[in-house]
Structure 1
Amino acid sequence: GAVPVIFEVERELRAALQRAAERAGWAGMAAAATVEVPRDPAHGDFASNLALAMAGRLGKPPRRIAETLAEQFEIRGTRVRSLEVAGPGFLNFRLRPTWLGEAVRQALEQEGAYGRSDAGGGQKVLVEFVSANPTGPLVLVAARAAAVGDVLASA
């Protein structure tokens, strides 16, 4: 099936961040660029902590690195509407509304197959799900973890 739009956007943003780092003279330093959907929508549609990750190697404040990356970031040709530097050096991306339409269209076209993945298929996993204190009472959280873990391990 087709690659989900959200993964295309993440890949596009990582590649654009790598190009921005190269233009700033930091070629090869953005290979581990992480781009993810932030927990708080106020932080944009996607965010990256790349500047924070590069700070140790560059010996510069992460916020200054983020500002340089933002200046070198080429928005044209991407789904990005705006880019802002936030906090100690996060890069927050707001996308053009069209990307969401692409995702909805893709979900409708793929119907029940949308979002399915065979990642990890055929691999064994170890599920550790109860860490109850043997000398104390079994609290509700541990009991819930036991039930959830049992279901996952039996699936």
Structure 2
Amino acid sequence: MVVAGGLIVYAGLQQVSAFSAPEQDIGRALLDSVGYMVIAIAVFEVAKYILEEEVIDPTQMRNAGQARRSITKFVSTISIAVFLEALVAVFQTSKGADMSMMLYPTLLLFGGVAMVVGLGVYQRLSTAAEGEVRSSPQAAAEEQAELDKF
């Protein structure tokens, strides 16, 4: 989380220096600072996920539904960061004369799409697995035993 804060401060300082130096390309500096902020948000979300799931309450994910929701939230945040970074890279690359540099942003966009498709497949498979577990007699007995504790 400290690293994410440092990236945000660095992006802000970069913006201030871009406006104070008249010879610097302000548009490029702004796009760079947006890229740093996107990375900072992704780093912050990873740190928050690790803190919540592994440090604060490591036993929180007792069933598949809780794990699925947690992983879905985490992967969604990372895929949004990948798409934003790809968008920034497209804008930066489109300003240059060498269009062969568009390969990186294009691959980044395909990577983001693959993450979203993979998340959809994971959702579908884990939901189907949860339905099978809930319908089994053993799961009903375990659920009843959990309720009897209270």
Q: TM-score by structure 1 length?
A: 0.28
- Which structure has the bigger radius of gyration? 2
- Relative to its length, the structure with more helix (as a share) is 2
- Relative to its length, the structure with more strand (as a share) is 1
Q: Which has the higher contact order (CA 8 A, sep 6+)?
A: 2
